[in-house]
Amino acid sequence: MEQILLDFDLRVMAPELVIVSAAALLSIIDLLLKESRSRKVIGWFGLAAVVLAGVFVAMAFGHEPYQILADTYRIDSFSLMFKAILLAGTAGVFLFSLASGKEEWKSREGEYYYLLLTALLGAMVMVSSADLITLFVGLELLSLSSYILVGIRKERGEANEAAWKYVVLGGVSSAFILYGMSFAYGLAGSTNLFEISRRFAEGMGGSGHLFIYLSLFLMMVGFGFKVAFVPFHMWAPDVYQGASTPIAAFLAIVSKTAAFAFIIRVLLVAYSPLMSDASWMEVVSWMLMIVAALSMILGNTIALRQTNAKRLMAYSSIAQAGYLVVPFATIGLVPFDLFPSMLFYLVAYLFMTFGAFVVIEFVTKDRGHGGISAFAGLSRRSPWLAAAMTLFLISLAGLPLTAGFFGKFYLITSTLFNNQEWLAAVMILTTIVSYYYYFGIVRQMYFLPPYSDQKVPVPWLATIAILLGVGGTIGLGLFPEPLLTFIGELDWTSVLSIASSGAPQ
C-alpha cells in the first residue's frame, strides 16, 4: 500500500518543524514591525527556537532508527549527533550576532536572523536524509542562505566581492555534485542511497564499474569546494574576510560540519560496495590521503604569511579540513572507527573556533582594522580576553590539556592504527608549523606595547559566548572521556541499516 506523508509519525521531525515554523513566523513579524523598531527581538526568538530544537534532538537519542518516505527523512544516531553540533554552533552564532550589533546590516537585521534559521534548516535536512534529492535540496537551502548572509553588508565592497566569489564557486561545486548524482541515478535507477548501494554491488564487475568511480570523483570535487580542502580552497580566505565575523564563524563551523555529514552519508551508504574493491585502497584512499596532506601542508604554510586575523583563520580552517579528511582516507579498513575521533574533533573545533572568532570581532572592532597587529598589548589592556584567546589558539595548535590536543591525538592514533604512518607524520609536522602563526598572535598580545590603555569593550552577551568557548575547550581537554564514551555507545551500524517506518519506540 502506497504511503503518504501523513501516514508517518511526524513527531520525529520536531526539530526541523520548530526551525521552519520559527523562520516563517519571524519573517512575518519582520514585515509587520515598524522600520524604526529594533529587530533584536527576532534574534532572541530565533535563538529560543534553536534551543527548543536542541531539546527535541536530545530527547530523540536512544530510539530505534526511523524513516519517512523512503529515507527522504531519516533519524538515527548519525543524524542526531550531527544535528546536536549544528544546533550548538548556530545557537552560538545567534548569541554572537546579538552581541556584535553590526551597524552595516541594521536595516536588514530581521532578514539576517531568519536566514540563519533557513541555513540551519538546510544543514539539518542534509544530515537527516538518505536520498539524493533531499540531500541536494538541503545543500542548496544551506548554500543560498549562506550566499545572502555573506553579502548582507552590501554597502561594503569587500562583502560584495566575497558574496560574488562565493556564489560563483558555490554554483560550480553544486554543478559537480549534481553531475555526479546524475551518473549515480543513471546507473542505479534510483535516488535512494540504500537502493543505489544495492545496484552498485550488482554492477561492480560489469562495464558500469568505471562510471561508478566517475560519479564518486565528480561528487568529491563538489564536496571539496563545500569543505574547502585543497585544491578547492581558493574561495575561503576572501569570503571569511569579506563576511561579517559571526557569518565567518557560521561558515567555519556549521557549513563545514554539514558538508562532512553529507560526505559520510554518501560514502558509507551509496558507495559502500566500493570499499571491498581493491581499487578503493589503490585509488580512492590514496586520493583522499593526498588531498588531506596537501590541505594540511598548504593551509598551515600559507597561514604563516597572513597579516589579517580572519584570513589567518580561513587558512587555519583549510588545514583543519585536512585533519578531518584523514579518517575518510582509511574508511575502507574499519568504516565505523572514524566516528569517535571525527565527532570529538568537530565538537572541540566548534568551541575553540567559535571562541576565537568572538575575540577577533571585538578586538579588531576596537582597533578599527582586522590586522593581527590589533592584538598588540592586549594582555595589558584586557588580561582575561588575552588569556581566553591564548587558550583558543593553543587548542587550535593542539597543545596538551585542551580540547584540540585530544582531538588531534585521537585522529593521529586512528591513522597509526590503520598503518598510515606517513600521513600521521604529516599531521604532526604541520601541527608544529601551525605553532608559528598561532603564537604570532600570542606574541602580539604579551610582548608588544598596546596602542591604548583602555580596556577592550566587550558586551555581556559576548562575555557569555567567550566563557562558553573557554568552558568547552577546557572541559574537553580535562575530561574527554565522557564525550568519547557517549559517542562510542551510540549505534553507528544504524547508518547502514534500513530504518523502520512504524511508530518510533
Hey, where are the domains in the chain? 277-496
Q: SS3 for 454? A: coil
Question: Cell 559537480 appears where?
Answer: 176
411-434 confidence digits (pLDDT tens)? 888 888 877 889 999 999 999 999
| CA 331 – CA 319 distance, rounded (Å) | 20
Q: SS3 for 333? A: coil
Element (H, E) at 133: helix 132-150
CA quadruple 39, 40, 44, 50: dihedral positive or negative? positive
43-95 confidence digits (pLDDT tens)? 899 999 999 999 999 998 888 888 887 778 888 888 999 999 999 999 999 99
Rounded to two decimals, what is the model's pTM? 0.93
Query: Residue 5 corresponds to which amino acid?
Result: L
Structure confidence at residue 503 as a pLDDT band (50, 70, 90): very low
- Mean pLDDT for 28-41 is 80
| CA 122 – CA 141 distance, rounded (Å) | 5
